[in-house]
Chains A and B, each alone.
Chain A
């Protein structure tokens, strides 16, 4: 009789308090640790072999040079130099267009250089990294695959 009474009075209750505690702890942790950042992307860089690693017997096409001279983030002088080509362009958009015009397309006789032709970005020592990457980006946009940074040259 006592047992039955006890069983009738028994009710299952979910203890909410510890769960809410944990939930709020997790919430506070995530709120404190989250960092909202813009996503990063990458350019494959063809780092030229320097010094002793360079093979002096390797036959390579003379690279197209993108010469950048700048002293501040707001302005940059851009010059394109290759065999038989020497051009000065106004901005990085014009550089991408010029490089694309110089690229030889498959099945076409137009253009001077293959997409595998080496492109060398040559920034002056004072050129901000932003401009160096812009020059690199213009070559990628133009469809070239073999792009690298050269030793800096004095302006």
Chain B
């Protein structure tokens, strides 16, 4: 008869308390750092100025116009809605923007454009925004340019 059997069955207890503590800490961390605003901004390589002098974007509602590179073509989107490339897409963007501006003229229009795009690819979007503001009858709308806050990773 072995010693183990003489003492009865061995019980292995797993101490769950530190595990649960850690899990809760991680959950609290992720709740704090996750944005649940439903902001459907696609990831865009925004310009990163060397000595930035801009203001924080804030958490207020905004209309986001994204200008991205997709393969060889430039894609413009308003929030999650994408528009066809070319002049027709910019016309549709102006119509959609005008509708949104008419319903709430206080909403700022933010331009999120890829830093590598030439100005000629972004200028039609600026024109569409100006055209939308004029169509909506809004004398002055707030248009903002988005850039990255810090200059990490950029060459001075």
A interface residue numbers (CB < 8 A to B): 16, 19-20, 23-24, 26-27, 30-31, 33-53, 73, 92-93, 96, 123-130, 132-134, 136-137, 140-141, 149, 151-152
Is A137 a contact of B53 with CB atoms below 8 Å?
yes
A135's nearest neighbour on chain B, judged by CB, is B49
Which residues of A have CB within 8 Å of B127? 50
> Which B residues, 55 to 112, have Cβ-Cβ distances below 8 Å to chain A?
55-57, 108, 110-112
Which residues of B have CB within 8 Å of A125? 118-120, 123
- Tell which of A19, A41, A46 touches B147, judged by Cβ atoms closer than 8 Å: A41
Is B50 a contact of A92 with CB atoms below 8 Å?
yes
For chain B, which range describes its interface: under 10, 10 to 19, 20 to 34, or 35 or more residues?
35 or more
Give the CA-CA distance A141 to B54 in the complex, in Å.
9
Which residues of B have CB within 8 Å of A19? 20
> Which B residues, 16 to 54, have Cβ-Cβ distances below 8 Å to chain A?
16, 19-20, 23-24, 26-27, 30-31, 33-35, 43, 46-54
Which residues of A have CB within 8 Å of B134? 49, 51-53
